Each structure stands twice: as C-alpha cells, then as structure tokens.
Amino acid sequence: MSAIPHLNVRLIATLAKVTRMTNQEISDATEIPIATWYRIAAGPANISVQQLMQLANGLKIPVRKFFTEGEAVIVGIREDYIRRDYKECRYDGDALRDKMGRGTSIGMAEAAKAMSIDISHITKYIRAEKRLTVASLLSFCEAFNIDPFTFIIDPNPVEAAPHRKRSGPSDGQSALTEELAAIRQELAQLREDYNKLKEANNLLARKLAEREKHPGAHRPYVEYGENGIINKLPKAAEGDKAIDD
C-alpha cells in the first residue's frame, strides 16, 4: 500500500476563499453551526470524521480532495474541488470495527492505543458516536498499514489532484504558476466588484450634485382649487427647461 495520505489542513483553513463562499454560507450548506465552523477553520487539524463528511457532502467536494499525498500541501481553485455530479461520501465505522475484530492481528487495546482513545469507549468512537478525529483515524491506519479509504467511503471517480507532489524545480515552478493564476482570477473578481461599486458611487454623487444645483426641483408643488387639492407634481426649479407634451 502507498503511504498514508495527509489531511489537507490548508484547504480546510482557506475553504471560504477557495469556494468563494462566505463562512455563513458554508455553515448553512454543511449544517455545521457557524461558531463550530470558525473553530474548525482556525484549527483544522482537530476536525472530526463526522465534520469532514458534513463538509464533503454539504459542499459537494469528494472527501478524497481533503487529503494530499506526500508533504506538499497546495490548494487549488474552486473548480478543482466542487463537482456537479457529486455522489455522497460516508464513513463506515462498522468496517473499522470488523477490521479490529476476530481473525485479525489488530486488537481493541492496540487500536485504542494507536488512536489515543480510551479503550472503554472505543466502539462508540469508531462508529463516530463519539468525536473521532481524522488525525486519530489516520494514526490508526499508519500504525497498522491500512488504507484509510477502507473506512472513508468516496464513490466519486478518482481524479488526479489539482497539483501533484513537487519532485523538482520544474514541478515547483508549475505549482507556483497555477497558484498565481488563481490569485489573478480572484484579483480580477475584486476589480470587477470595485468598478461596479465605483460606478454606483459616481451615480449617487451626480444625483446629489443635481439636487444641490436645483434644490426646489424635488419639492412637491401643490395647487389648490375650490374643492381642495387638484394637482400635486414636483415643482420645476428655475432654469429647468419645460417639457412639451
């Protein structure tokens, strides 16, 4: 089996930026309370298996995308992660329990020690009835050389990572170029938003200037007749051109 993958903590910490969603939108989509989500983003290494499943299924990001091979931790752009044809991921705690059952060299005590879990509650932990961290699960898999995706089920097709592990200067340059492209894309969006805001501000400034130039133009003009008010129109300011019917 290949090396145990690492949790991509940088992706989780920058998920709002990567997905171009607000923290509240992530909270709503994943059903993770906003306060809990802020704690996860601030300390992603402590995320639980259940919370990771909520992120994957709520945002339609295959759970494998939250892991990286090797030591390189590089984050791609939104299109690298979110899938339209997403299939729901799940955690199979029963498969893990069976792995530690009879007929294997893995005992409950050994598993609890590898996971840093109290053996008296290990069954509840591995079934995710208690808070099982992804870090603990990976520690178990590393200790017994087991593929974590035996228990973390991702039915989505396996795709190449958005950025492969750097093995030399050329690979590092390629990753840097792609990351720079993502930054430029985000900068272009910010520039577009700024121009729209600037245009709206200029329009408001022109309207205010026009109002100061003709202060009476927007005051209502009331004409009284024998039976009361018969006309109520904006009174034209002096200097305004008359508009013929």
Over range 134-146, report the average pLDDT: 90
Q: Where do the structural domains in the chain lie, given as residue ranges?
A: 6-165, 166-213, 214-245
What is residue 233's predicted lDDT score, i.e. its pLDDT?
54
Second-level CATH architecture of 6-165: Orthogonal Bundle (1.10)
Instruction: Give the residue from 94, 75, 68 showing the smallest Cα distance to 153.
Output: 94
Residue 76 DSSP class: -
Alpha-carbon span 114 to 125, nearest angstrom: 13
Distance of CA 163 to the CA centre of its chain: 18
What is residue 2's predicted lDDT score, i.e. its pLDDT?
62
Q: Which residue type sits at 116?
A: S
Higher pLDDT, 127 or 103: 127
Per the listing, tokens 């892991």 go with 67
Alpha-carbon span 46 to 42, nearest angstrom: 10
Tokens of 89: 């991921």
CA atoms within 13 Å, Cβ hemisphere of 117: 27
Q: Which residue type sits at 16?
A: A
Tokens of 236: 């034209």
Least confident of 36-40, 78-82, 214-218: 214-218
Percent of the chain whose predicted confidence (pLDDT) is above 90? 37
Over range 182-196, report the average pLDDT: 73
